[in-house]
Structure 1
Amino acid sequence: MKPLSILQVITQRRFSGAERVCLSLCADLQQRGHRVLLLCKPDGGLPDEARKLGLAVQTPNISGKLNLVAPFNLARIARQFGADVIHTHLSSASLWGGLAGRLSGIPTLGHVHALNTWFYYRFSTLAATCSGGVKQYVVAQGADPLKVRVVYNGIPANRLDGVPSSAEARQMLGVAPDQPVVACVAHLSPKKGQTFLLQAVALLRDRFPDLVCLLAGEGEMAEQLQQQAVELGIADHVRLLGFRRDVMSVMQAADIVVLPSIAKEGLGLVLVEAALLEKPTIGSNAPGIDEAVKDGVTGLLVAPGDATALAESLALLLADAVLRSQMGQSGRQRALQMFTQEAMVDQFEAIYRELVAQ
């Protein structure tokens, strides 16, 4: 089949889930013989990471919801590049990219990575959502369900490259081989629910006196969480690790990986990554997360914001190594079936061909 010229556009805020998906997709499409040009903001580390992968990158002025020149800039660049398709990621890129597609006559795919406002994607020819929960969310806002495709985020095959053994990861983090460890890898913000995880750890302190809680991530809640740990008397049990590039190593050191979000998630991709490491997972019973965790099979789902229920689920798994192992193995098997990078890229290629054929 004829290679395509694909313009990828993202207006990133940080180097996180959507940015990693976009970057790995660009690299794989280029490896498959397609021409790829990535347009992004100059900050957040994304341009440097993209260039390391051998990708062509430009950083035009495309950010901001009031940037009325952005669609004209994008349309011009798309024409110059000879784009067959424009694939946009996140709200500002999708708003301006959808309009640029209409200006240039080039079909567009608006990629909804989270529970976003549909208005910003309404000008796209087709939309892709990272989960069925996100599709339901945008359809409820008026999106045509026939024009919205669910494409689960894929984990790159090299995601496990260089990940140490559990024993090595614990040694790196100064955790004893027999200590019970729970880990949460997420932006430190109220909606991610780390405050309820700390409450749960406090409830478990007497039963599991050596319990360690690892929080990897940065954000506005860092000082507040540190203070909360002191007030709950669990400061010695909680370690705020800050931003880490080796989050797979952090999860490798854990017995259980938790995502206690109180808001709906696009998918909860970190729980799928944990499953690849054969870690049982606990997540909030909310759209998106409930697709990353199969309750009772690969992990457990708990009511959002319920620290007592979270503590009970943690206690159940911490006390049962056999159950943890069974859930970890089931999680890895499911992740390899449903969340591979190859499957994701195959689906996007098919959507691109469909758009070009239209």
Structure 2
Amino acid sequence: MINVFHIVSNKIWSGPEQYAYDLALRLRNDDNYYIEVVCKKSEAVFNKFRSLEIPVSILPLKGLTDLDSPVRFARLLKRGQNIIHVHTFHDAFAAIWAKHIAENPNTRIVLTLHGVNRPRINYLSKKVYRDLDRIVFVSQRSYDEFVPRITRLDRKKCVIVRDSVLPARSEKLAQAPQLRQQLGIGSDQALIMYHGRLSHDKGLDVLLRAITQLDSSKYHLVILGEGNHKYVAQQKAFIVANQLVHNVTFLGFSDNVQAYIRQCDFGVLPSVVPEALGLSNLEYMMHGKAHIATNNGAQLEYLENGKNALLVDPDNPYELAQAIEQLTTDAVLRSRIGMQARHDFNDHLNYDTFYKQMTELYASLFKAP
């Protein structure tokens, strides 16, 4: 049996936490693995992982200057075959220190990089890269932005394993309220959905500028997610100033997003910054929903304009408005794109494919060279 320890140090729930959660959910039912999570003292994150009914340890996880966390964590690594799976660069420090303190030669460290980021190239960072056993990139785009910029990096350690999303349980999908009925949305209005972090990076303000150009009788936009209070307040003020109050509803954070996706006509994900993968995109695809995305990140690796999505330039409200208008008025196009998206997800983007690749990676770390 292989012991897998996921370290997640964010205090809020975001993409890396969901990645670790979904993987832990699958690993806990796999007889080949023991799974445990290490996190900060954050009620939201701690309680979410505890719901999996697996061991969850709380450590400070303060980065390079934190010596307490690796000392305490090392106690978990004294025996067996151990994999420490970290999701941020600064958590790699704690993992490396803990490995050295534990003095167990059967301990490996895996870092998944969830963004499109250039690497740090100072002396200490290069030493961290050397001490890692695998660096996992969630797309070719994230790999290309990172790996060529580091001289003498062992590229055998660098692998691309595209992440995916797990389908929600049927009983959970049934728990969400009926949006059309709750919000009074008519059958002649398209129910449009945005979900994710509420920020300029994700393009929410671009989306709101875009819908000012649309016929207000033809759509209703539902927004799921949380963000910086000042930014959210600015967007709500924009909605009031542009008389969109009856066309836009903020529903806040939900841990049952897929239940809402199933009810929408199509989604809009207008990210301004390049996406390393775009798990939100995959959620629409999984449920057979058309969606609009930007063409500036790894979306281009699995989305084709007009086939399984509509793609637009980032930070371009005029082009985005045209795409929204197209899907709002053409139900046949929505259906065709959604059907193709579901086929592509089931064919090569599904979670079973990701899980098989990840567990094969885990097992390979203990095979003789």
Q: TM-score over 0.5 for the alignment?
A: yes
Amino acid at match of 1:194: L
1:13 aligns with 2:14: no
Deviation, structure 1 residue 160: 5.5
Distance 1:42 1:141 in 2: 35
Q: Deviations over 1:223-249 (max 9, x none)?
A: 111011122232221112111222223
1:194 aligns with 2:194: no
1:76 aligns with 2:86: no
- What corresponds to 2:237 in structure 1? 227
130-139 or 82-91: bigger deviation: 82-91
- What corresponds to 1:89 in structure 2? 87
Distance 2:171 2:349 in 1: 17
Amino acid at match of 1:128: V
Amino acid at match of 2:76: I
8 Å CA contact 2:138, 2:162 repeated in 1: yes
Amino acid at match of 1:21: Y
8 Å CA contact 2:172, 2:256 repeated in 1: no
Q: 1:284 to 1:147 in 2, by over 3 A?
A: same
8 Å CA contact 1:110, 1:128 repeated in 2: yes
Say which of 22, 28, 31 aligns to 1:30: 28
Aligned pairs (5 A) from 1:143-182: 144-158=154-168, 161-164=171-174, 168-182=178-192
- What corresponds to 2:353 in structure 1? 343
Q: Deviations over 1:61-85 (max 9, x none)?
A: 22345324434443333226x3422
Secondary structure in structure 1 of the residue aligned to 2:36? strand
Secondary structure in structure 2 of the residue aligned to 1:254? coil
Deviation, structure 1 residue 117: 5.1
Structure 1 runs (4+) greater than 6 angstroms displaced: none
Q: 1:99 to 1:287 in 2, by over 3 A?
A: farther
- What corresponds to 1:114 in structure 2? 115
Distance 1:61 1:140 in 2: 33
Distance 1:165 1:325 in 2: 25
Distance 1:101 1:236 in 2: 56
- What corresponds to 1:67 in structure 2? 66
8 Å CA contact 2:119, 2:149 repeated in 1: yes
Q: 1:112 to 1:187 in 2, by over 3 A?
A: same
- What corresponds to 1:322 in structure 2? 332
Amino acid at match of 2:109: T
Secondary structure in structure 2 of the residue aligned to 1:9? strand
8 Å CA contact 1:23, 1:50 repeated in 2: yes
Secondary structure in structure 2 of the residue aligned to 1:39? strand
Quote the sequence identity (%).
Answer: 24
8 Å CA contact 2:202, 2:271 repeated in 1: yes
Deviation, structure 1 residue 47: 2.1
Aligned alpha-carbon RMSD (Å): 2.4
Secondary structure in structure 2 of the residue aligned to 1:182? strand
For structure 2, list consecutive stretches of 5 or more residues without a partner in the other structure: none
8 Å CA contact 1:285, 1:304 repeated in 2: yes
Deviation, structure 1 residue 19: 1.1
Secondary structure in structure 2 of the residue aligned to 1:338? helix
Secondary structure in structure 2 of the residue aligned to 1:137? helix
> What number of residue pairs does the alignment pair up?
353
1:299 aligns with 2:309: yes
Amino acid at match of 2:24: C
8 Å CA contact 2:218, 2:328 repeated in 1: no
